[in-house]
């Protein structure tokens, strides 16, 4: 039986939307159909997730006037303008108009590309998120950042475009491979680090329950994560300021992902190593105790995540790749550092010398 | 000497922006630089317009930290995702970040693709419009509709994204070929038909001055057109209702353009023939006098515009192509008809039989 365990709301005026967290939501016809405006549907998934959940979801969504099902290959390397083009070709060929609804069933790649396709198709159609990875559930499905990658940088082409609703079915985590589950935990840990020290303490105490995929523990961790993200996004939708704190570890992480080539390191893995670097830099500035870096390393190791950048990645490479980050303004890198656990801030005075000392020291 | 003759404002809250209409604005350094937020610039133009005005504009915009100049081939057939990709490749390679400004110098194709590129690049950067065709000055540069075409339909992939400012230099009309000038007049005439009977009367009285490109007549016609469009857009930015009246003649026109292949009929030419069809349908319903159709035909002929669809285009082709229009909702075509000259409205009860009677009758 399906059950909604938590309902959150992302408060964005006329673009506000609910996040439902619960059990067996992919089959909850009553809930899903409340959020369908028309009778045209484009279901976008990938070849890994679709065989597991598409049938139940399609049945729950009901009969449509027009129905197009698209399965992308699985992987970050397919989050491209070319995949987007494939989507438009099929949706156009099937004659979908402005009253269609795009539904994303899958992880962050499927959600990001589907959201961007929905943002652009006929200048914007409805879309729903059904995230099936922990990373997508706690991060990419909430907040309206959509994008595809460019060969020279991740998420360089995209839009801020909010879904109409997010349906988080915790049951889908049962089929998630351990490595991807761990990658999602990196973002969960991030929420504790940036704004919620008690949640960070809870994570240290409950990591084994989470790794055992205990439903109650998962429901709590996902709810806290989404609540924090929804709150930050509601206060700064288009990343004018505050929202940037959600990027703790991400500028370092993006550099690692770009250097290694998409698909080698998972996003969450790169963020994990990046968060250690961000905390080490915070400690290097004397803002936090060095022991906090060790505590984070232990927690990430318990979660099965990497805690260091690739050995052979030089400080020069970091400096060059980080300089391409979207958060660079007038040549000045902006990084997220921690004043304290649960208290992150945007810093725009990190020098190349400081970065080099950090990376050489940790290399 | 440059001179601003009119300044209008498009009232969209925090996304409001000015439209400057005047003489020699492409060289007005003081005015242009007021609207540059950073010191990075991407100038997008085409191979026809760039040799005429790019040098003056680049000089007026001043020295930049990063400067990328892109010249697209000239023509609607290049308003594609592929051209967009070319833009992203160059802008990424040159390392532009979020504080860059995209500047569109050219007609509607350059403006639409530049605006869409600016909307997507790093999820949105500033852009300025410097429209150099009459069509772009009175229509596409104002209102924030940006897009590229899909092989199965015009403007199918795009965004609502407003510029920071629009600079209309009437001097650029001196180099505009007659055929393109006439195409722009079709949209000017449209504004009279939909909301402003006195302006429609003025156009009938002043068509010869406009065709002689008299500066005072042009300034008045462009100002009235932009003012009407700005007012409609301010009241309905995302085409929830009212804004649709700007599409008088466009659903018929798009069908003609798609049937003939992009680039065969100019957009304004197709709209001209489409407006005659829309008025003929209004007359067929008894809403306006048949004489008004003849008056419009005479005015369009005086402007050098076509007044009929291609002879060999069947009513079945119209019905099929119009069914793909973005304004179709749940299978029901919505058309703009005139209750009276200067009083257009959205109509959603036009039957296939009514369309067939219209097209067979006029064929």
Residue-wise pLDDT for B252-273, tens only, equals 998 998 898 766 899 899 999 9
Residue B237 has pLDDT above 90, yes or no: no
* pLDDT score, position B339: 97
User: Among all residues of chain A, which has the CA nearest to that of B151?
Assistant: A89
Alpha helices in A121-196 (DSSP H): 134-135, 178-195
Pairing of strands A343-347, B165-169: unpaired
Q: Which residue would you say has higher pLDDT here, A259 or A129?
A: A129
Residue-wise pLDDT for A176-226, tens only, equals 999 999 999 999 999 999 999 999 999 999 999 999 999 999 999 999 999
**Contact at CB, B326 and A98, closer than 8 angstroms:** yes
Give B52→chain A minimum CA distance, Å: 31
Pick from B123, B145, B151: which is nearest to A147 by CB?
B123
**Contact at CB, A150 and B92, closer than 8 angstroms:** yes
User: Among all residues of chain A, which has the CA nearest to that of B333?
Assistant: A97
Centre a 10 Å sphere on the Cβ of residue A238 and count the other Cβ atoms it contains.
Answer: 12
* pLDDT score, position B123: 96
CA distances from residue A310 to A189, A228, A356, B282 in whole angstroms, order as listed: 21, 31, 15, 70
**What are the two backbone dihedrals, phi and then psi, of residue B338, each rounded to the nearest 5 degrees?**
-105, 125
**Contact at CB, A326 and B98, closer than 8 angstroms:** yes
* pLDDT score, position B195: 96
Of B146, B143, B131, whose CA–CA distance to B21 is shortest? B131
Kindly give, in sequence order, each residue whose CB lies less than 8 Å from that of residue A263, ignoring residues fewer than 6 positions away: A75, A76, A77
For the domain with range A3-175, which CATH number is right: 3.20.20.70, 3.40.50.720, 3.40.50.1970, 3.40.228.10?
A: 3.40.50.1970
Q: What percent of chain B has pLDDT over 70?
A: 97
* pLDDT score, position A329: 63
Contact of B350 with B357, CB cutoff 8 Å: no
**What are the two backbone dihedrals, phi and then psi, of residue A163, each rounded to the nearest 5 degrees?**
-75, 170
Residue-wise pLDDT for A115-130, tens only, equals 999 999 999 999 999 9
A250 tagged catalytic = yes
* pLDDT score, position A324: 76
**Contact at CB, A123 and B160, closer than 8 angstroms:** yes
**Contact at CB, A328 and B97, closer than 8 angstroms:** yes
Residue-wise pLDDT for A81-115, tens only, equals 999 999 999 999 999 999 999 999 999 999 999 99
Residues of B noted as catalytic: 123, 145, 187, 229, 239, 243, 247, 250, 254, 267
**Residues comprising chain A, all counted:** 363
Q: Is A114 left (phi over 0), alpha (psi -120 to 50) or beta?
A: alpha
- Could you tell me if A310 lies within 8 Å of chain B, comparing CB atoms? no
Residues of chain A with CATH 1.20.1090.10: 178-362
Residue-wise pLDDT for B295-338, tens only, equals 999 999 999 999 999 999 998 999 888 887 766 666 678 899 99
A187 tagged catalytic = yes
Pick from A65, A92, A151: which is nearest to B156 by CB?
A92
Q: How confident is the model over B347-353, as a mean pLDDT? A: 91
Q: Could you tell me the two tokens for B174?
A: 């001196």
Chain B positions in Cβ-Cβ contact with residue A98 (cut-off 8 Å): 326-329
- If pLDDT is split at 50, 70 and 90, which confidence band does A323 have? confident
Of B129, B56, B43, whose CA–CA distance to B87 is shortest? B43
Residue A328 has pLDDT above 70, yes or no: no
Does domain A178-362 sit in CATH 1.10.3720.10? no
A334 tagged catalytic = no
Integer Cα distance of B157 and B278 in angstroms: 26
Kindly give, in sequence order, each residue whose CB lies less than 8 Å from that of residue A207, ignoring residues fewer than 6 positions away: A185, A299, A302, A303
**Contact at CB, A119 and B159, closer than 8 angstroms:** yes
* pLDDT score, position B238: 82
Residue A362 has pLDDT above 60, yes or no: no
Chain B positions in Cβ-Cβ contact with residue A150 (cut-off 8 Å): 88-89, 92
Q: Could you tell me the two tokens for B144?
A: 């924030």
Q: What is the mean pLDDT of chain A?
A: 94
- Which own/partner pairs from A12-16 qualify as long-range (CB within 8 Å, at least 24 positions apart)? A12/A144, A12/A162, A12/A233, A12/A234, A12/A237, A15/A144, A15/A162
Q: What is the mean pLDDT of chain B?
A: 94
Pairing of strands B153-160, B145-150: antiparallel
* pLDDT score, position B258: 84
A345 tagged catalytic = no
Chain B positions in Cβ-Cβ contact with residue A155 (cut-off 8 Å): 123
**Contact at CB, A39 and B328, closer than 8 angstroms:** no
Chain A positions in Cβ-Cβ contact with residue B348 (cut-off 8 Å): none
B341 by Cβ neighbours in 10 Å (0-12 / 13-18 / 19+) ranks as: buried
- Which own/partner pairs from A285-292 qualify as long-range (CB within 8 Å, at least 24 positions apart)? A285/A337, A287/A337, A287/A338, A287/A339, A287/A340, A288/A338, A288/A339, A288/A340, A288/A341, A292/A338, A292/A341
A82 tagged catalytic = no
Tell me the three-class secondary structure of chain B, residue by residue.
CCEEEEEEEECCHHHCEEEEEEECHHHCHHHHHCCCCCCEEEEEEECCCHHHHHHHHHHHHCCCCEEEEEEECCCHHHCCHHHHHHHHHHHHHCCCCCCCEEEEEECHHHHHHHHHHHHHECCCCEEEEEECCHHHHHHHCCCCEEEEEECCEEEEEEEECCCCEEEEEHHHHHHCCHHHHHHHHHHHHHHHHHHCHHHHHHHHHHHHHHHCCCHHHHHHHHHHHHHHHHHHHHHCCCCCCHHHHHHCCHHHHHHHHHHHCECCECHHHHHHHHHHHHHHHHHHCCCCCHHHHHHHHHHHHHCCCCCCCCCCCCHHHHHHHHCCCCCCECCECCEEEEEECCEEEEECCCCHHHHHHHHHHHC
Question: Hey, what's the torsion of the CAs at A239, A240, A244, A246, to 10 degrees?
Answer: -50
Of B31, B67, B338, B34, whose CA–CA distance to B168 is shortest? B31
Residue B144 has pLDDT above 60, yes or no: yes
- If pLDDT is split at 50, 70 and 90, which confidence band does A363 have? very low
Residues of chain B with CATH 3.40.50.1970: 3-175
A312 by Cβ neighbours in 10 Å (0-12 / 13-18 / 19+) ranks as: exposed
Integer Cα distance of B102 and B67 in angstroms: 10
A254 tagged catalytic = yes
User: A65, A118, A122, A254: which to substitute to probe chain B, counting the most B Cβ within 10 Å?
Assistant: A122
End-to-end CA distance of chain B: 51
Partners of residue B150 on adjacent β-strands:
B153
Residue A268 has pLDDT above 70, yes or no: yes
| CA dihedral over B191, B251, B9, B43, signed as positive or negative | negative
Q: Which residue among A35, A164, A224, A254 is the active-site one?
A: A254
Q: How confident is the model over A220-242, as a mean pLDDT? A: 91
- Could you tell me if B152 lies within 8 Å of chain A, comparing CB atoms? yes
- Could you tell me if B39 lies within 8 Å of chain A, comparing CB atoms? yes
A327 tagged catalytic = no
**What are the two backbone dihedrals, phi and then psi, of residue A80, each rounded to the nearest 5 degrees?**
-130, 165
Residue-wise pLDDT for B62-84, tens only, equals 999 999 999 999 988 899 999 99
* pLDDT score, position A229: 95
* pLDDT score, position A75: 87
Counting one residue from chain A and one from chain B, the pairs whose CB atoms sit within 8 A come to 104
Contact of A277 with A252, CB cutoff 8 Å: yes
**Residues comprising chain B, all counted:** 363
The interface pTM score, or ipTM, of the predicted complex is 0.89
**What are the two backbone dihedrals, phi and then psi, of residue B139, each rounded to the nearest 5 degrees?**
-135, -75
Residue-wise pLDDT for A146-168, tens only, equals 999 998 888 999 999 999 999 99
- Which own/partner pairs from B232-235 qualify as long-range (CB within 8 Å, at least 24 positions apart)? B232/B195, B233/B10, B233/B12, B233/B142, B233/B143, B233/B144, B234/B10, B234/B11, B234/B12
Residue A142 has pLDDT above 60, yes or no: yes
Q: How confident is the model over B176-197, as a mean pLDDT? A: 97
* pLDDT score, position B158: 98
Q: Which residue among A187, A223, A237, A292 is the active-site one?
A: A187
- What is the Cα Rg of chain B in Å? 20
- Could you tell me if A98 lies within 8 Å of chain B, comparing CB atoms? yes
- Could you tell me if B81 lies within 8 Å of chain A, comparing CB atoms? yes
Centre a 10 Å sphere on the Cβ of residue A151 and count the other Cβ atoms it contains.
Answer: 12
- What is the Cα Rg of chain A in Å? 20
């Amino acid at each position: 039986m399906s059950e909604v365990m938590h309902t959150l709301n992302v408060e964005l005026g006329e673009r506000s939307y609910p996040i439902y967290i619960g059990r067996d939501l992919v089959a909850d016809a009553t809930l899903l159909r409340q959020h369908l405006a028309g009778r045209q549907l484009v279901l976008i998934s990938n070849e890994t997730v679709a065989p597991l959940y598409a049938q139940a979801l399609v049945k729950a969504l009901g009969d449509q006037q027009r129905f197009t099902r698209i399965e992308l290959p699985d992987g970050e390397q397919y989050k491209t303008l070319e995949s987007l083009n494939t989507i438009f070709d099929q949706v156009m060929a099937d004659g979908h108009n402005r009253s269609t609804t795009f539904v994303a069933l899958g992880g962050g790649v499927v959600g990001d590309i589907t959201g961007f396709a929905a943002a652009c198709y006929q200048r914007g159609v409805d879309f729903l998120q059904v995230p099936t990875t922990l990373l997508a559930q706690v991060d990419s499905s909430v907040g309206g950042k959509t994008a595809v990658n460019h060969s020279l940088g991740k998420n360089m082409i995209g839009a801020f475009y909010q879904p109409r609703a997010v349906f988080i079915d915790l049951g889908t985590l049962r089929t998630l491979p351990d490595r991807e589950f761990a990658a999602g935990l990196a973002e969960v840990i991030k929420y504790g680090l940036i704004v919620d020290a008690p949640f960070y303490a809870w994570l240290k105490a409950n990591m084994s329950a989470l790794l055992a995929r205990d439903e109650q523990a998962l429901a709590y961790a996902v709810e806290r994560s989404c609540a924090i993200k929804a709150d930050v996004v509601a206060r700064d939708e288009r990343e004018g300021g505050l929202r940037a704190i959600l990027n703790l570890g991400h500028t370092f992480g993006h550099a690692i992902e770009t250097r290694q080539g998409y698909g080698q390191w998972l996003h969450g893995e790169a963020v994990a190593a990046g968060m250690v670097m961000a905390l080490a830099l915070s400690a290097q500035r004397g803002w936090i105790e060095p022991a906090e870096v060790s505590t984070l390393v232990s927690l990430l190791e318990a979660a099965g995540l990497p805690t260091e950048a690739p050995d052979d990645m030089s400080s020069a490479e970091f400096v060059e790749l980080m300089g391409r980050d979207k958060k660079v303004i007038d040549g000045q890198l902006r990084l997220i550092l921690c004043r304290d656990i649960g208290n992150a801030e945007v810093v725009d005075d990190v020098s190349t010398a400081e970065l080099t000392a950090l990376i050489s020291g940790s290399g």
